[in-house]
């Protein structure tokens, strides 16, 4: 799951920049000035207060580098910015980021130069000292958020070059470190920054600065007058309101008490779409809700059991049943926007009960000795518990009794007590969209949910090598090998990519409806592109 | 003063009840499946950090010691810190108590007179049109769960048919509960509709019993005006059982409106309790449950006292 989104890895992008010269070229194409000029030419009305609703509770927190739940992601994004930002193909770009240029020659030494004239909320100018502090905080092994970054960077590897430039020296080559720079939790904070629990003063460079915050109730963010992206932001303030559940959230949107509802249930989309006062934005960037089968536990130790279960499901029907059609087919794979997605061109797995039963029989299972397991799901996400139930029903029916699975919805506490707990062999998880390598790293290192790979596998070495490989073709070949092993022996069943849906009043303007890692195109790019038409 | 003695005795029993409830609450929260330290730190924590936090929270102490410390602190008015936010619980709970009390008061101010009037009038017009209509309506309302009623009202008055009232209550941190009056209309209406049927049905039954009683007949035979018979003789005696129902409903309104509060996103103690259970915030769960139990004890006490005062034969039988 996505408790922590800091991912340090990379992948071979078509646009991988081989050395500083092509970085400069990319910087030219995406120069902030030309794009800002374009954006500024779209007239937006100034003023107004935007009310954003999101399901949250007393656990809501505010830390520029760490999130637990969706409201934390929203609040982090209002006040803090990263060096680079993904475009719709998950390629890191300079537009909307704080970096003017990022370059490397060897994948180990990364030079980052900041844009000129960026001011923090308290009027201080952003310098390389802040950059050094931010990356030292991000990579500090004593901090929770450093986990994924730890193999790549420690605080000693962060140094200042000049007033606007800093250098990151990685512990191992990572040709696609830009992905980490563009991860939304890799924000830049001023020297001395502490999270809200330690200091209510939350200073960042973002378009709105924090005025008040009460966990489980609301936060108010007011316009940053000296924001660097000229002419923006438009609103006077952004208010993030916490809701106890999605029913209250969607009611408030339909009743007009809030302008934006983040993460509305897919089942409500038909109603919301009918409402002429509302807009619905369904993002299909590749969110997944995998069924995790732990591969070193019975009955999944035998690879044939895993394969058979993948063949027993009808993916199209699952999309209809669980997502009301709001998703697209996946082949137990992930990161569909990645250039190396499905590198081996595997055909989509159709339901094949005969083939599956052959495998199960070969593995020693029959009606009298069925495959028995209990699939656990949390009660706080209907997409997860719904899939668990539908999956179990399908495999039981299609196998004619050779599989006897059950699904259990665990009342609150799932993520503490059940998820990845010892002895639990089948459970649900979810991941927001991200490129192939960070997703791989998440599933293997940060959250080893299925205990993949099997003993003797060299996939981890392959991953490390591929990370350091600067030649895109060579990397693609390595990725293909990795995907082959995952496809043939993996413990994840991923039947589809889930659309993430948000809805907002049609008075809300300026949202770029593109696929993005975060809802509403990074919440209207930290809400700076959003304006209210009254 | 026999009435004071009666109150003192009931208060003593109330304190005992609360103590028993507090033991029960403590035992139940101890039996929760997840470890508070684990819940706070998440699963990425280290065993050392877990150990340190358990030490800090005093989770290694024997259960009796933990209970003693907790109960003693509460007696001294210190309700402790939230496990989750590490902030004083009083900051979190106090405004919510205010909000819930306001919601209860407004609902009670409307629902009690209405239900007493409707119940009494139904009894007087027994089996006539008004009685039949009000009886059927209150039966239907009593049968419909609150969330269905609330959702129906939202659909009718807020989102679908008419869009004249807010679907949720927006009371910001630091604001008074009456800062969003229009936002309170629907939750109050839902609660009135939820509470009124019970009270009016009880009132009707009680009033009918009184109207058929010997002393009312006696009063009529003595030639008293119907008005005097009703107001002086029947009504006070009929109110006794009704006070009990009112008290239970008030206690319910003050502490248990979890569903209505969640539906309307109302920042009261019901939703606070639901939130705390989700977050495994033990101090908050323990205090809120204890407080709600206290409200029930207090309301029952008040109802008993009111019944005794209102009912002449009970009042005179006190020794």
Residues A327-373 have pLDDT tens digits of 999 999 999 988 899 999 999 999 999 999 999 999 999 999 999 99
How far, in whole angstroms, is CA B245 from its chain's centroid?
A: 11
Q: Is A420 near chain B, with CB under 8 Å? A: yes
Q: What is the mean pLDDT of residues A159-187?
A: 91
Of residues B261, B264, B279, nearest to A59 (C-beta): B279
> What is the rounded distance in angstroms from the CA atom of residue A523 to the CA atom of residue B232?
67
Give A62→chain B minimum CA distance, Å.
Answer: 11
Residues of B in contact with A147 (CB under 8 A): 44
CB A515 within 8 A of CB A283: yes
The model's confidence at residue A85, banded by pLDDT at 50, 70 and 90, is very high
Q: Which residues of A322-342 are buried (b: 16+ CB within 10 A; e: fewer)?
A: bbeebbeebbbbbbbbbbbeb
Beta bridge partners of A82: A187
- Distance (Å) from the C-alpha of residue A490 to the closest C-alpha of chain B? 24
Distance from CA of B188 to the nearest CA of A (A): 16
- pLDDT of res. B42: 62
Could you tell me if A218 lies within 8 Å of chain B, comparing CB atoms? yes
Q: What is the mean pLDDT of residues A118-143?
A: 93
Question: How are beta strands A237-243 and A49-55 bridged, if at all?
Answer: parallel
In percent, how much of chain B has pLDDT > 70?
95
Q: In whole angstroms, what is the distance from residue A261 CA to residue A271 CA? A: 14
Give me chain A's average pLDDT, please: 86
pLDDT score of A284: 81
Dihedral pair phi/psi, residue A370, rounded to 5°: -75, 165
Tell which B residues from 83 to 112 touch A, by Cβ distance under 8 Å: 84-86, 92
Distance from CA of B149 to the nearest CA of A (A): 14
CA–CA gap between residue A370 and residue A24 (Å, rounded) = 61
10 Å Cβ neighbour count for A361? 13
Q: Does B270 touch chain A (CB under 8 A)?
A: no
**A25 — pLDDT class (breaks 50, 70, 90):** very low
User: Do A58 and B84 count as a contact with CB atoms less than 8 A apart?
Assistant: yes
Does A3 touch chain B if contact means CB atoms closer than 8 Å? yes
Average pLDDT over residues A465-484: 90
Of the two residues A27 and A247, the one the predictor is more confident about is A247
Quick check: B200 and B116 in contact, CB under 8 A? yes
Phi (first) and psi of residue A157, to 5 degrees: -85, 5
pLDDT at res. B256: 57
Q: Is the pLDDT of residue A2 over 50?
A: no
Q: Which of B91, B265, B268 to mutate to test the interface with A (most CBs of A within 10 A)?
A: B265
Rounded to the nearest angstrom, the minimum Cα separation between B96 and chain A is: 11
- The angle at the Cα of A525, spanning A520 to A528, to the nearest 5 degrees, equals 115
Q: What is the pLDDT of residue B318?
A: 65
Read off the pLDDT band of A20 (50, 70, 90): very low
Residues A151-159: what's their mean pLDDT? Answer: 89
Q: Can you tell me whether residue A509 is helix, strand or coil?
A: strand
Could you write out the DSSP letters of every residue in A68-100? Answer: SSHHHHHHHHHH--BS-EE-TTS-EESTTSSEE
Exposure string over A183-195, b if 16+ CB within 10 A, otherwise e: bbbbbbbbeebeb
The CB density around residue B87, as the number of other CB atoms within 10 Å, is 14
- Residues 6 or more apart from A237 whose CB is under 8 A from it? A49, A50, A208, A211, A220, A221, A222, A223
Using an 8 Å CB-CB cutoff, list chain A residues near B39.
413, 416
- Evaluate whether A41 touches A229 at the Cβ level (below 8 Å): no
Residue B1: which pLDDT band, with cuts at 50, 70 and 90? low
State the pLDDT at residue A19: 31
> Does A45 touch chain B if contact means CB atoms closer than 8 Å?
no
| Residue B313 reports pLDDT greater than 50 | yes
Residue A415 contacts B where some CB pair is shorter than 8 Å: yes
Is A148's pLDDT higher than 80?
Answer: no
Q: CA-to-CA distance for A4 and A107, rounded, in angstroms?
A: 24
Average pLDDT taken over every residue of chain B: 84
- Which pLDDT band, with edges at 50, 70 and 90, does A91 fall under? confident
The minimal CB distance from B278 to the residues A57, A144, A247 is found for A57
Select from A64, A91, A107 the least CA-distant residue to A179: A91
Collapsed DSSP state (helix, strand, coil) of residue A238: strand
Strands of the sheet containing A158-162, edge to edge, are: A99-104, A109-114, A165-169, A158-162
A237-285 tens-digit pLDDT: 999 999 988 888 999 999 899 999 998 888 888 889 999 899 998 888 8
Mean pLDDT of B101-122: 90
Distance CA A81, CA A58 (A): 25
Tell me whether A423 touches chain B (CB under 8 Å).
no
In order of A301, A388, A446, the CA distances from A297 in angstroms are 5, 19, 20
Residues B229/B234/B236/B239 CA torsion (nearest 10 deg): -150
Of the candidates B33, B276, B281, the beta carbon closest to that of A413 is on: B33
Is A416 in contact with B172 (Cβ distance < 8 A)? no
Shortest CB distance from B42 goes to which of A3, A58, A257? A3
- Judged by CB atoms closer than 8 Å, whether chains meet at B274 and A212 is answered as no
A478 three-state secondary structure: helix
What is d(CA A196, CA A69) in angstroms, rounded to the nearest whole number? 15
The four Cα atoms B102, B106, B111, B117 give a dihedral, to 10 degrees, of 130
Nearest CA to CA, how far is A236 from chain B (Å)? 18
A147: left (phi over 0), alpha (psi -120 to 50) or beta: alpha
Residue A13 has pLDDT above 50, yes or no: no
Structure confidence by residue, pLDDT tens digits, B14-50: 889 988 998 898 888 877 766 777 766 665 567 777 7
Is residue B179 pLDDT above 60, yes or no?
Answer: yes
pLDDT of residue A193: 94
How crowded is the C-beta side of A443, counted as CA atoms within 13 Å?
30
In degrees, rounded to 5, the angle at the alpha carbon of residue B138 between the alpha carbons of residues B132 and B144 is 140
Poorest-pLDDT segment among A119-123, A166-170, A471-475, B303-307: B303-307
Residues 6+ apart with CB under 8 A from A424: A294, A376, A418
Q: By the CB < 8 Å criterion, does B263 face chain A?
A: yes
Partners of residue A217 in chain B, C-beta under 8 Å:
172-173, 267
Please compute the mean of the pLDDT values over residues A70-89 and round it to a whole number: 91
In this structure, are residues B310 and B239 in contact, taking their beta carbons and an 8 Å threshold? Answer: yes
- Residue A160: predicted pLDDT: 94
| B107 to chain A, closest Cα gap in Å | 21
**Per-residue pLDDT band at A16 (split at 50, 70, 90):** very low
B271 pLDDT more than 90:
no
In angstroms, the CA A274 to CA A428 distance is 32
Looking at the complex, report in whole angstroms how far the Cα of residue B39 sits from the nearest Cα belonging to chain A: 6
The residue of B36, B53, B85 whose CB has the most chain A CBs within 10 angstroms, and thus the best one to mutate to test that interface, is: B85
Q: How is residue A351 annotated by DSSP?
A: P
Contacting residues of B for A416, CB less than 8 Å apart: 34-35, 38-39, 42-43, 280
Return the pLDDT at B319.
56
Q: Is the pLDDT of residue B173 over 50?
A: yes
pLDDT of residue A5: 39
**Gap from A413 CA to chain B (nearest CA, Å):** 7
Contact B159 A254 (CB under 8 A): yes
- Asked if residue A219 has pLDDT above 90, the reply is yes
A293, A306 contact by CB (below 8 A): yes
User: Given an 8 Å threshold on Cβ–Cβ distance, is A244 in contact with B271?
Assistant: yes
Give the number of A-B residue pairs with CB atoms closer than 8 Å: 100
């Amino acid at each position: 799951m996505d408790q922590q989104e800091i991912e340090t890895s990379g992948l071979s992008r078509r646009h991988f920049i081989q050395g500083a010269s092509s970085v400069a070229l990319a910087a030219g194409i995406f120069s902030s000035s030309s794009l800002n000029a374009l954006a500024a030419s779209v007239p937006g009305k100034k003023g107004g207060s935007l009310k954003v609703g999101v399901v949250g509770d007393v656990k809501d927190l505010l830390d520029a580098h760490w999130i637990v739940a969706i409201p934390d992601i929203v609040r982090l994004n209002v006040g803090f910015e990263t060096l680079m930002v993904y475009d719709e193909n998950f390629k890191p770009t300079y537009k909307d980021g704080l970096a003017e240029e990022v370059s490397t020659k060897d994948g180990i030494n990364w030079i980052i130069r900041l844009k000129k004239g960026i001011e923090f909320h308290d009027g201080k100018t952003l310098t390389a000292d802040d950059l050094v502090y931010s990356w030292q905080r991000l990579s500090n092994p004593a901090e929770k958020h450093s986990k994924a970054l730890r193999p790549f960077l420690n605080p000693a590897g962060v140094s200042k070059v000049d007033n606007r430039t800093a250098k990151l020296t990685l512990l191992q080559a990572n040709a696609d470190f830009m992905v980490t720079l563009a991860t939304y939790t890799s924000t830049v904070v001023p020297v001395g920054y502490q999270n809200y629990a330690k200091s209510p003063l939350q200073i960042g460079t973002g378009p709105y600065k924090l005025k008040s915050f009460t966990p489980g109730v609301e936060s108010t963010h007011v316009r940053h007058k000296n924001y660097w992206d000229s002419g923006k932001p438009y609103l006077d303030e952004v208010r993030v309101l916490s809701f106890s559940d999605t029913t209250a959230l969607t009611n408030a949107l339909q009743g007009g008490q809030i302008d934006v509802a983040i993460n509305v249930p897919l089942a409500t989309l038909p109603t919301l779409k009918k409402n002429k006062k509302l807009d619905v934005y369904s993002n299909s960037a590749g969110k997944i809700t995998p069924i995790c089968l732990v591969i070193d536990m019975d009955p999944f130790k035998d690879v044939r059991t895993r394969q058979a279960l993948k063949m027993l499901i009808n993916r199209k029907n699952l999309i209809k049943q669980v997502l009301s059609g709001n998703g697209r087919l996946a082949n137990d794979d992930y990161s569909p926007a990645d250039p190396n997605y499905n590198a081996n061109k595997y055909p989509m797995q159709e339901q094949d009960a005969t083939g599956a039963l052959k495998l199960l029989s070969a593995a020693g299972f029959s009606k009298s000795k069925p495959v028995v397991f209990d699939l656990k799901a949390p009660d706080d996400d209907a997409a997860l518990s719904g899939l668990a139930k539908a999956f179990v029903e399908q495999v039981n029916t299609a196998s004619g009794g050779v599989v006897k699975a059950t699904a259990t919805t665990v009342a609150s506490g799932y993520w503490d007590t059940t998820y990845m707990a010892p002895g639990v062999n089948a459970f649900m998880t979810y991941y927001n969209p991200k490129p192939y390598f960070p997703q791989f790293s998440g599933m293997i290192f940060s959250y080893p949910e299925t205990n993949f790979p099997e003993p003797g596998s060299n996939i981890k070495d392959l991953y490390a090598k591929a990370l350091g490989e600067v030649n895109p073709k060579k990397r693609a070949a390595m990725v293909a090998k990795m995907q082959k092993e995952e496809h043939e022996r993996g413990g994840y069943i991923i039947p589809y990519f889930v659309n993430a849906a948000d809805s907002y009043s049609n008075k809300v303007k300026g949202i770029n409806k593109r696929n993005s890692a975060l809802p509403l195109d990074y919440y209207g790019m930290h809400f700076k592109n959003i304006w209210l038409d009254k | 003063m026999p009435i004071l003695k009666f109150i003192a005795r009931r208060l003593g029993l109330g304190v005992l009840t609360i103590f028993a409830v507090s033991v029960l609450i403590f035992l139940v929260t101890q039996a929760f499946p997840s470890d508070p330290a684990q819940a706070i730190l998440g699963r990425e924590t280290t065993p050392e950090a877990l150990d340190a936090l358990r030490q800090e929270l005093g989770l290694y102490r024997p259960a009796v010691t933990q209970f003693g410390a907790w109960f003693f602190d509460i007696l001294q008015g210190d309700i402790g810190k939230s496990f989750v936010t590490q902030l004083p619980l009083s900051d979190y709970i106090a405004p919510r108590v205010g909000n819930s009390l306001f919601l209860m008061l407004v609902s009670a101010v409307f629902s009690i007179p209405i239900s007493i009037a409707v119940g009494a009038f139904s009894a007087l017009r027994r089996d006539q049109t008004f009685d039949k209509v009000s009886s059927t309506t209150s039966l239907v309302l009593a049968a419909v769960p609150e969330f269905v009623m609330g959702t129906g009202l939202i659909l009718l008055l807020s989102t679908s048919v008419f869009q004249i009232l807010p679907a949720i209550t927006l009371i910001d941190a630091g604001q008074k509960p009456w800062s969003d009056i229009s936002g309170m209309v629907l939750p109050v209406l839902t609660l009135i509709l939820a509470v009124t049927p019970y009270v009016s049905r009880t009132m009707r039954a009680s009033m009918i019993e009184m109207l058929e009683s010997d002393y009312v007949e006696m009063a009529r035979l003595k030639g008293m005006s119907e008005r005097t018979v009703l107001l002086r003789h029947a009504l006070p005696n009929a109110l006794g059982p009704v006070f009990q129902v009112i008290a239970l409903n008030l206690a319910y309104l003050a502490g248990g409106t979890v569903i209505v509060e969640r539906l309307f996103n109302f920042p009261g103690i019901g939703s606070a309790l639901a939130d705390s259970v989700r977050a495994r915030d033990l101090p908050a769960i323990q205090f809120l449950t204890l407080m709600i139990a206290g409200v029930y004890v207090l309301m029952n006490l008040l109802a008993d006292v009111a019944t005794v005062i209102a009912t002449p034969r009970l009042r005179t039988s006190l020794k």
